[in-house]
Structure 1
Amino acid sequence: MEEIAKTITEYISHTLEIISALVIATALLQLIIDYFKSAIKKKKIITAEEARVKFGSSVAVALELLLGGDVLTTAVAPSWNDIGKLAAIATIRTILNYFLERELSHMHQTKSHMS
C-alpha cells in the first residue's frame, strides 16, 4: 500500500513541477511580449517595477506549487534529506513572498501619492 501511495505522490509531484515550469515560462513569455510591444509602440506598456512584481508573483506561485509537490513527496516515508529540502523551499518561498509584498505595498503607496 505504501508503494502505491509513493507512486501516486511522485506522479502528482512531477505534474506540479511541470505546471510550475509552465507558469514561469508563461510569465517570461508575457514579459517578452510586453517588452516588444513597448519597443514597437515606443510607449511604456509596463514599468520595470510592475514587470518585476508580475514576474515575481509568477515565481511565487511556481514555488507554492513546488512546495505542494514536495510536501506530498515528503508525506510518504520522508527522509531527513526530504525534510531538509522541504524546509529550504518553504524558507525561500516565505522570503520571496515577504519581499513581493513589500514591493506591492511600495507600488500601492506610490500610486496613492500620485493620484
Structure 2
Amino acid sequence: MDNVLQFISEIISYVSIAIICYGAALGLLKFISNEVNRLKNTFSLAKTIQIKIEVGYYLLLGLEFLIASDIIDTILNPSFEDLGILAGTVVIRTGLSYFLNREIEDIAENGPIEEDKN
C-alpha cells in the first residue's frame, strides 16, 4: 500500500509541475503577444495585469497539488524535514493566495485600469 501511495504522490508532484509550467508558458506567450502589440500602439496595461492574475492562479493551483503530494509523503514518512517542507509550502501558498486575492479585489473595486497606448 505504501508503494501505491508513494507512486500517487509522485504523480501528483509531476502534475503540479506541469500545471505551473503550463501557466508560466501561457503567461509568457500572452505577455510576448501584448508586448508585440506595443509596436502596433495597441499595448494594454490592463491585459498585462490580467496575465499576471492568470499566471498567479496557475501557480496557486500547482502549489495546491504540491501540498497534496507533500501531505501524502509526510503521512508515509513522518519526519521533521518533511514537516518543514510541508509547512514552507503551505506558508508560500497562503501568502501568494492572500496577495493575489487582494489584488483581484482591488481591481474589482477600482474598476479596470485605463489603457496606456505607449
TM-score with structure 1 setting the length: 0.75
1:97 Cα shift? 0.9
> Matched residue pairs, number?
112
RMSD: 2.5
**Gap regions ≥5 residues in structure 1:** none
Q: Deviations over 1:52-81 (max 9, x none)?
A: 333323322222232222223323223221
Q: Deviations over 1:28-74 (max 9, x none)?
A: 222222222x2243113343433433332332222223222222332
Partner of 1:44: 43
Hey, what's the Cα distance between the residues in 1 that align with 2:100 and 2:85? Answer: 22
1:21 Cα shift? 2.1
Map 1:12-23 → 2, pairs under 5 A: 12-23=12-23
Identity value in percent = 29
For structure 1, which segment, 42-51 or 59-68, has the greater mean C-alpha deviation from structure 2 after superposition?
Answer: 42-51
1:27 Cα shift? 2.1
For structure 1, which segment, 2-11 or 101-110, has the greater mean C-alpha deviation from structure 2 after superposition?
Answer: 2-11
Map 1:1-115 → 2, pairs under 5 A: 1-36=1-36, 38-47=37-46, 48-111=48-111
The amino acid of 2:38's aligned partner reads A
TM-score with structure 2 setting the length: 0.74
**Gap regions ≥5 residues in structure 2:** none
